[in-house]
Amino acid sequence: MAEVTNELMYELLKSIHQRMDRLDQSVGEVRHEVVSLRLSMMSVQTDIHNIYGITSRIDDRLDRIERRLDLREIAEPQRPFDPT
């Protein structure tokens, strides 16, 4: 079995330190990607919310138009159809 010396321990610790630095850098990159995905999700959610709002306003306007047309049909005098 190899003798454990200070130099061997030093090399081993350097190797562990390098691997931890790479791991730390990778975790930082993953964190940035997660933040980017979160911002994209929030943007999509905001867009969907805006679409629901626009659709609701269009639906309200259509309801008002339908109500007005119904009132107008009732208020207009009905004439028999004359094709001439």
Per-residue pLDDT at 42: 98
The CA distances from residue 65 to 17, 61, 68, 74, in Å, are: 72, 6, 5, 14
Instruction: Render pLDDT for 57-84 as a digit per residue (tens, 0 to 9).
Output: 999 999 899 888 876 556 566 666 677 6
Domain edges within the chain? 33-72
Per-residue pLDDT at 11: 93
Backbone angles phi, psi at 55, to 5 degrees: -65, -40
- The residue ranking higher by pLDDT, 24 or 74, is 24
Residues 6+ apart with CB under 8 A from 2: 8
Tokens (6 digits) for 74: 């009732």
Instruction: Render pLDDT for 39-55 as a digit per residue (tens, 0 to 9).
Output: 999 999 999 999 999 99
**What is the 3 state secondary structure string of 62-82?**
HHHHHHHHHHHHHHCCCCCCC
